[in-house]
Amino acid sequence: MTEAVETLKTWVQESKAIAFFGGAGVSTESGIPDFRSTGGLYHQEWKYPPETILSHTFYKSNPEEFFRFYRAKMLAPEARPNAAHKKLAEWEAAGKLTAVVTQNIDGLHQAAGSKHVCELHGSVHRNYCERCGKFYGLDFILNGTGVPRCTCGGIVKPDVVLYEEGLDQSVMNDAVDSIARADLLIIGGTSLNVWPAAGLINYFRGKRLALINKSAVARDLSAGLVITDPIGEVMAGL
């Protein structure tokens, strides 16, 4: 175990209020493709750029193509929580971790047992009819074809934040509060390229900041610890 990981282990032991801010890199070890890393979704060929397909405008104007891409590239029902997800849930159960703030939409933190999860970009497990509001689970989308329709005839939209859409303000407020109250903030599996989510770390007022990411991040965080190893491996060692 590296010296940095040993230090992080000590920090965790001494902390009373850990907040975790995570991105796509947390889920790659569960087999879910990263959006922007080499070989990720944004480096694969498709008729339209993924940024275009995952926009509100495209969803409204070309729902057939949107849902074809969504089912093929955004859903991974076979994925299971990895060591990072499990360790975070373990810390929460022990009363050390107060919140997971995630940019991921896969629900793996909850599957691992985490209770307080701020899902900044929504979840594939929640889908609602745009006409009547009826709820539908993931299986309804997975097992269907074409544009999913409610019993009332309305389109069933995934509760995920598309480009051009705003983040849920109540979720943002919860995330801000959780990060602001933390004495240790661990940032993992994110290059901090996605705004406004990346800006949430500016609310951290604690003294200990750790960054776990395989590649360089978009900002100089002046983190006390920087670990450039796969987050699942690092967390398993804690």
Which residues participate in catalysis according to the annotation? 121
Tell me the pairing of strands 184-188 and 18-22. Answer: parallel
Tell the residue number behind the tokens 């299986």, with chain if given: 139
Which tokens go with 71? 């089912």
> Exposure string (b/e) for 68-91, b if CB count within 10 Å is 16 or more?
bbbbebbbeeebebbbbbbbbbbb
150: its two tokens: 């409610």
Q: Which residue has the tokens 């849920």?
A: 168
Q: How far is Cα of residue 106 from the mean position of the Cα atoms in its chain?
A: 7
Beta strand extents in the chain (DSSP E only) = 18-22, 97-102, 117-119, 122-129, 135-136, 156-160, 184-188, 208-212, 225-227
Rounded Cα distance, 105 and 159, in Å: 9
By the 8 A CB rule, do 126 and 158 touch?
yes
